[in-house]
Structure 1
Amino acid sequence: MKRQGHTLALGLRENLAQFTLLVAVNALVGGTLGQERTVLPLLATDVFHLNLYTSSLTYILAFGLAKAAANYAAGTLSDRYGRKPVLVAGWLIALPVPVLLIYGPSWGWIVAANLVLGISQGLTWSTTVVMKMDLVGPDRRGAAMGLNEAAGYLGLAGTALATGYIAATYGLRPGPFLLGAAYIALGLGLSALFVRETRSHAHLEAKSQTRHGLGNLSTREVFTLTSFRDKSLSAVSQAGLVNNLNDGLAWGLFPVLFSAAGLSLGQIGILAAVYPAVWGAGQLATGALSDRWGRKGLIVSGMLTQAVALGIVATGSTFNLWLLAMILLGAGTAMVYPTLLAAIGDVAHPAWRARSVGIYRLWRDGGFAVGAVVSGLVADAFGVPAAVAVVAALTAASGGVVALRMRANDHINS
């Protein structure tokens, strides 16, 4: 099959230039989210003087709901119109976010900014995932997802650290959000001018695939299969939800917990950066390892490691102990994150894989919203450590569901 004078081929080496470009684009997607990780929880308490955790976490609730819906839409739209238009649209939607964050006179403006950011992130991040799956084919899917997620979360971590420094030096606004504005401009330019469409690669792979017998399932059938009917897909979907439930907790409440314990803004920035940095860098190894060792063991081990880390956060009170917890939390998440995505790609037929990825990511990023509500209510009633302990228990239970329900060898047959 040819396109614009080039023969289409599946594989990382065969598509290295486009794959590398998409890795860079996803680093910018992650950095756009990272502009908020250190600063927004402190903006809620120090600038807008929000006392209830359930109130201050409304921005995570808005972000999670919007991103979950956008993930779902991204899969359907990219199958219908192509991947690149969805990616470019996601960047265009992000343009007003830094303006809202910088000039917002009330907390409602910040919530609105996160609603818009959630839509943008759902479209851009989901599309880069699908495009990389399209390019590499089945053989190195775990490695591809590891590279994709590593780029995104290293971008997030570096930006969280940088914005912590900027905020400590120049104040909470506007400095940290100017960095996000630069990311959005660069991401839009690269996506519009240099990224190429990859849907034809998925069509090429689909010709040789017969997973689940048929490749022409309706969106409703794909939703039911991904969410409930297929044991592996449904186990992965619930694990994704719980993973982002605890990430929402870390985003919204950890900086507040650390600040209340007397940590400096610089120390909070370090802790906010270490977790996604270990998460991001670790995925460079764990994605590829899941191709060799299988997906299930890494997912179960990762969820349990996260639960242990959250237990340490709940009982700790010092910078060094919390630093250890952030390293463990990042390591556990690195074991899980690219492996869950690769597991979806293992089972889903290329003809409906983009929709299945979108549905998985709908459940996964719905975890932000669930986490905001659950952790906010528990924190208001019993304190932040109690909220962290509850989420630790939920994370351990999720790992148990994967151990009992997920098939162990889907990747072998993909």
Structure 2
Amino acid sequence: MGLRQNLAQFMLLVAVNALVGGTLGQERTVLPLLARQVFHLDLYTSALTYILAFGLAKAGTNYVAGTLSDRYGRKPVLITGWLIALPVPLMLILGPSWGWIVAANVILGISQGLTWSTTVVMKMDLVGPSRRGLAMGLNEAAGYLGVAATALATGYIAANYGLRPGPFLLGGAYIALGLGLSVITVRETRGHAMLEAANHTSAHARAHGELSNREIFTLTSFRDKSLSSVSQAGMVNNLNDGLAWGLFPVLFAAAGLSIEKIGILAAVYPAVWGAGQLVTGALSDKYGRKRLIVGGMLVQAVALGMVAFGTGFGFWLAAAVLLGAGTAMVYPTLLAAIGDVAHPSWRARSVGIYRLWRDGGFAVGALLAGILADAYGIPAAVAVVGLLTALSGIIVAVRMRSTDHKPAI
């Protein structure tokens, strides 16, 4: 157990998660424009149904993924996730109605729930307790750099060759490559978690080593102050990400920005988010999780305020950088905090429950942003979500215990 001892397999999983992120990135620039320009959806609530569908599907699958990976192993769940994704690019290319796009996102959400959740758990298995923040930083950096690079590439493809089919052919290539790598080269890691569990001697481990699924859900969601604080922060983080995904391209297009510039803005936010996690995950190992989570939520709130009240490509570019930086402070740190508290024997299930709440934020964000944007306009919707993000950071500051890790093996 350890990063150095498992470096080759760890870096392979980093590459696989970059492909998982790229599969999601094929939509970030193109789908909001497709809703308006091809399917002529005028209401924001209607246009954001694909994010609602994606969020609900992914959130539910995250929960199932943890249980399945504990029962059947990590690798079969990962491969299943890739197989489920196979029809998505064709549905996005050929879909004759918006219902097809929504259905494709249900399938994509299920696939992402299985693949991304499993790569998270597998990296936790491999590295053990002492480098968990670094591992999560590398995992999430790879995924969101994949999102960013693909958002930029699909913006270029769409500007030069149209909204369909070009951007989604890239997603199809990612799925084929990810499936091949997962089948041929990825190895099972559940044995590493069993080894860690056998040597886990902390008091928290003794108290909670054997829990039912219901008890783990209650502990992660409500009872444990650290786990529940992390869960609500993850949900609000993805609430504002769902807003950025669905409404930012529409806001920028309404301001007269070209598709190329919209693609740049859609890419910069996850690019800074992704690259920043190469640093923030390791920083959370050294300086603790709580201060990075609180600071990151507040930085995101400031960035959303800049989007709501500012105008122009340059100002929005600065806001996108700031939003990415705040998210980078939060994202791997939340996962590492779950790993600190949860016992290895039920860690995969606790991660799944956290990701259930976190990715449920996509659905909440799509509904809330759509309703507010239809009633008051996009800037008002962004401002409200910014306030909610600041409130979430305050809740973490007040309620979360320090989870600074002391190795228990």
Would you say same fold, with TM above 0.5?
yes
Are the equivalent residues in 2 in contact too, given 1:295–1:411 (CA < 8 A)?
Answer: no
What is the match of residue 81 of structure 1? 72
* Cross-structure match for 2:220: 226
CA contact (8 A) 2:237 2:358 kept: yes
Question: For residue 90 of structure 1, what is the amino acid of its counterpart?
Answer: G
1:93 aligned partner? 84
Contact residue 10 and residue 126 of structure 2 kept, 8 A: yes
* Aligned mate of 1:199, from 190, 193, 213: 190
Q: Choose 42-51 or 208-217, whichever is displaced more.
A: 208-217
Code of the residue aligned with 1:43 in structure 2: it is: L
| Residues 101-131 of structure 1, C-alpha deviations (whole Å, 9 max, x = no match) | 0000000000000000000000000000000
2:291 pairs, out of 288, 297, 300, with 297
| 8 Å Cα contact 1:53-1:379 kept in structure 2 | yes
Query: What residue in structure 1 maps to residue 50 of structure 2?
Result: 59
Could you state the TM-score of these two structures normalised by the residue count of structure 1?
0.97
State the distance in 1 between where 2:380 and 2:61 align: 32
**8 A contact 2:290–2:396 mirrored in 1:** yes
- Correspondence 1:287 to 2:278: no
Distance 2:210 2:37 in 1: 53
Gaps of 5+ in 1: 1-9
Partner of 1:362: 356
| Among candidates 326, 338, 341, match of residue 335 of structure 2 | 341
Pairing 1:266-345 to 2, within 5 Å after superposition: 266-345=260-339
Identity of aligned residues (%): 81
Secondary structure, counterpart of 2:163 in structure 1: coil
User: What SS does structure 1 have at the residue aligned with 2:130?
Assistant: coil
Tell whether 2:376 aligns with 1:382.
Answer: yes
1:187 aligns with 2:178: yes
Letter matched to residue 155 of structure 1: G
- 2:99 aligned partner: 108
**SS where residue 226 of structure 1 aligns?**
helix
Q: Contact 1:347–1:410 (CA<8 Å) still a contact in 2? A: no
Matches of 2:205 and 2:373, distance apart in 1: 44
CA RMSD across the alignment: 0.7
Q: Distance in 1 between matches of 2:153 and 2:212?
A: 45
Q: Distance in 1 between matches of 2:34 and 2:91?
A: 13
SS in 1 for 2:42: coil
Matched, 1:250 2:244: yes
Q: Is the 8 A contact 2:340 2:403 kept in 1?
A: no
Looking at structure 2, the residues matched to 26 and 88 of structure 1 have their Cα atoms a distance apart, in angstroms, of: 13
Q: Select 1:392's aligned residue among 368, 386, 393.
A: 386
**What do residues 34-75 of structure 1 show as CA deviations (whole Å, max 9, x unaligned)?**
000000000000000000000000000000000000100000
**CA drift at 1:412:** 3.4
What is the Cα deviation at residue 411 of structure 1? 2.1
Distance in 1 between the 2:159 and 2:318 partners? 23
Match of 1:139 among 126, 130, 136: 130
Deviation at 1:208, TM superposition (A): 1.5
Using the alignment, how far apart are the partners of 2:405 and 2:49 within structure 1?
Answer: 38
Specify the alignment match of 1:241 in structure 2: 235
| Partner AA of 2:211 in structure 1 | L
Is the partner of 2:406 in helix, strand or coil?
A: helix
* Structure 2: gaps spanning 5 or more residues: none
Q: What is the CA-CA distance between 1:17 and the residue it aligns to?
A: 0.6
| 42-51 or 211-220, which deviates more | 211-220
- Mapped to 2, the partners of 1:409 and 1:114 lie a distance apart of 35
Q: Is the 8 A contact 2:337 2:403 kept in 1?
A: no
Of residues 34, 38, 45 in structure 1, which corresponds to 2:29? 38
TM-score (ref. length: structure 2): 0.98
- Shift of residue 409, structure 1, vs aligned partner: 3.7
Whether the aligned pair in 1 keeps the contact of 2:341 and 2:403 (CA below 8 Å) is no
Q: CA deviation at 1:216?
A: 1.9
- In structure 2, what is the equivalent of residue 262 of structure 1? 256
SS at match of 1:172: coil
Indicate if the aligned counterparts of 2:95 and 2:101 stay in contact, CA closer than 8 A: yes
Distance in 1 between the 2:406 and 2:372 partners?
42
Deviation at 1:413, TM superposition (A): 5.8
Once the two structures are superposed, what CA deviation does each residue of 1:261-293 show, in whole Å capped at 9, x if it has no partner? 000000000000000000000000000000000
More displaced 10-residue stretch of structure 1: 210-219 or 229-238: 210-219
Partner AA of 1:225 in structure 2: L
Cα separation, 1, equivalents of 2:376 and 2:205: 47
Deviations 1:288-312 (A, max 9, x none): 0000000000000000000000000
AA partner of residue 98 (structure 1): P
Give, as a single letter, the amino acid of the residue that structure 2 aligns with 1:260: A
**Is the deviation greater in 389-398 or in 401-410?**
401-410
Aligned-partner Cα distance in 2 for 1:226–1:205: 20
Is 1:407 paired with 2:401? yes
| Superposed displacement of residue 209, structure 1 | 1.3
Aligned partner of 2:112 in structure 1 is: 121
